[in-house]
Chains A and B, each alone.
Chain A
Amino acid sequence: MMWWRKFEERLFYVLMIFSTASLVILLLVILLSIFLKGVPYLSWEMVSQTPKGGYYFGREGGILNAIVGSLYLSAGAVFLALVFSLPLALAMNIHMRTYKRTLHVIRFVLDLLWGIPSIVYGAFGFTLMIYLGIKASLLAGIITVAIFILPIMVRAMDEVMKNVPVTLLESAFSLGSTRTEVAFKVMLRQTLPGIITAVLLAFGRGIGDVASVLFTTGYTDNIPTSLFQQTATLPLAVFFQLGSPIPEVQNRAYAAAVILTLIILIISIATRLLGRGYNKTRIN
């Protein structure tokens, strides 16, 4: 049976290398197929103009409305979520640092919230919209996306803040600082790059999600000028145009997919660079 064991060992070794390599191959295949299909249809017109008359029959125009709409939506949602998540993360790591059991419960709830699919948030946002009496609009979308990215943001910040040495906080306390001062002058300053990373992560999630905004933002060819107007978003632009029977419109969907992928790649690289800087300046 010795030969079998040797064979098994070799076999699994090869399989392991194969599957690890397949991760890289998969990523390359996905990016390549998106770029090869979409880049030929990419033009300056695409990113600099809103849809003109007859755009959805293949005439001229671009998807500037969706690009700007997506940026507005994600930026607004990130800002709103930050107002809630930053104090929460600070509370968990300063005010409640010693309440282990409560912390367990909070982290558990946050993880549960993270696990809820975005389409459920979309449905919830929709009911919320009706209760509040607002129509499908940029504001409704911002609220929905903010709720959806909130747990992601808090958990990402929490992970960074958890690692700040207790001694650092305690020495600040022993010098007579209040909890607020420790939170904002010590904790926040120590973990700023980590917080920015969390924000970028949430921004990327927010800009790429369709299911949560499907019900709540509507869709329009104009760039929104107020919070109460409908707005187009980039992923929805990809989705809608791909469903069109006209080839020119479909091709624009592929081009829009390239733009969305590029935005996500830029965010990803920025996050990575920040993370590196953070590791260099950290005290512990």
Chain B
Amino acid sequence: MATTITYYKLRKIKDRIVSGWVKTMVGLVLLLPVVIAISLLSKSWLILGHSGLSELLFSSVWRPLAGEFGFWPFIISSVWVTFLGLIFTAPICLLSAIYLTQYGSKRLLGMMQPVIDILAGIPSVIYGVWGILLIVPAVGSFLAPLLGIETSGFSILAGGFVLAVMLIPFILNILIEIFRTVPRDLFEASLSLGASKWHTIKHVLLGKTFPGIISAFGLGLSRAFGETIAVLMVVGNVVAIPKTIFDPGYPLPALIANNYGEMLSIPMFDSALMFAALLLMAIVILFNIFSRWAIIHFEKKQ
């Protein structure tokens, strides 16, 4: 009898300890984004005191050695590359998601899943190498001469193109999930009224899932905004506001990644780069929150 009681106590104590451990982990993870934000903010305090938020964001003079830090060229480059990436990737994602969920068989979807997974798993540096091997020459010595433009190929366009390919698996997976949730009977009601299949897809499926589609692209956008190495490798990295998509650009993540070596010697530069990271995080989190809110809203309506 005594042994059963101690055994029981032992189990209880073990449970207490493990439960404590488990709950601490929950607390830690909930604190993590706050800790990241605070540490980046404290690091960028120096530059914020030095040159005010609006000057940092909207000035286009970038001379770190003279103490002038204007992030505008980088923000514009980031916006251009992200925007192009989304434009290129949107039709492919939408059309394939519709085909895979509405026309294709289950087997086809099963066969395509590994393809999507492998595309998603390829590291960004490999996408970068591929971009240098194929996309940059294609832009520089094929597309640009066709339009009569001089460019090295390392351009916003190349960055957007590589980014578009990287976004495909990410957005496509979300779209497939969303299209699957549409109830079958809605579809059949439309078909039985004499609408064609495409007509039904256009009005019922796309209409019904519109908020979901928007948030899928919102999530894609926030992923695109932070993509570093692949874009850095093909985008040219020249500090100037790009005028056309054949000009080189210099997105925010590339700025942080490229200047790591030099930043340590100048405190203000170090602070500026940490501010860039904070800015990136803020933008990404904003888009994330907006998209997730839209998705939750959409699920509630279903």
Contact = CB atoms under 8 A, between A and B. Distances in A.
Contacts of A5: 196, 199
Contacts of A95: 19, 22-23
A62 interface: no
A204 interface: yes
Contact of B40 (A127, A209, A253): A127
B274 A123 contact: yes
B53 interface: no
Contacts of B67: none
B25 A84 contact: yes
Contacts of B180: none
Contact of B15 (A178, A209, A235, A242): A178
Interface string B218-254: 0100110111110001000000000000000000010
B145 interface: no
Contact of B285 (A116, A121, A151): A116
B21 A23 contact: no
Interface stretch (A50-58, A166-174, A179-187): A179-187
A20 B112 contact: yes
A106 B26 contact: yes
B208 interface: no
A16 B121 contact: no
Interface string A247-284: 00000011001001100110110011000000000000
A24 B273 contact: no
Interface in B1-55: 11-12, 14-15, 18-19, 21-23, 25-26, 28-30, 32-33, 36, 39-40, 43
B197 interface: yes
**Size band of the interface chain B makes with A:** 35 or more
A264 B123 contact: yes
B66 interface: no
Most chain B beta-carbon contacts within 10 A, residue among A96, A154, A239, A271:
A239
A183 B18 contact: yes
A27 B223 contact: no
Interface string A72-109: 00000000000010011011100110000000011011
B125 A115 contact: no
B157 interface: no
A115 B222 contact: yes
Interface in A1-37: 5, 8-9, 12-13, 15-20, 22-24, 26-27, 29-30, 33-34, 37
The size bracket of the interface on A is 35 or more
Given A116-B36, A211-B229, A264-B122, A33 B130 contact: yes
Given A9-B196, A117-B253, A204-B121, A16 B103 contact: yes
Contacts of B292: 108, 111-112
A110 interface: yes
A29 B126 CA distance: 12
Contact of B168 (A26, A253, A265, A268): A26
A13 to B, nearest CB: 7
Interface in B164-201: 165, 168, 172, 196-199
Contacts, number: 242
Given A87-B22, A96-B26, A209-B124, A119 B226 contact: yes
Interface stretch (B56-64, B68-76, B91-99, B146-154): B91-99
A90 B24 CA distance: 13
Contact of A91 (B22, B32, B36): B22
B100 interface: yes
B116 A23 contact: yes
A96 B26 CA distance: 10
Contacts of B288: 111-112, 115
Interface string B98-116: 1110011000000010111
Contacts of B222: 115
Contacts of B32: 109, 113, 147, 150
B223 to A, nearest CB: 7
A123 B277 contact: yes
Contact of B29 (A37, A109, A204): A109
A257 B132 CA distance: 12
B87 interface: no
A127 B274 contact: yes
B260 interface: yes
B214 interface: no
B118 interface: yes
A24 B273 CA distance: 39
B266 interface: no
5 contacts: A92-B26, A105-B30, A118-B226, A209-B123, A261-B126
Given A34-B133, A120-B284, A264-B121, 7 more contacts: A111-B288, A113-B29, A127-B274, A154-B29, A211-B228, A268-B118, A271-B117
Interface of B: 11-12, 14-15, 18-19, 21-23, 25-26, 28-30, 32-33, 36, 39-40, 43, 91-92, 95-96, 98-100, 103-104, 112, 114-119, 121-130, 132-134, 165, 168, 172, 196-199, 219, 222-223, 225-229, 233, 253, 256-257, 260, 273-274, 277, 280-281, 284-285, 288-289, 292
Across the A-B interface, give the 8 residue pairs with the lowest CB-CB distance, nearest first: A117-B226, A208-B123, A123-B277, A16-B99, A178-B15, A19-B95, A211-B228, A91-B22
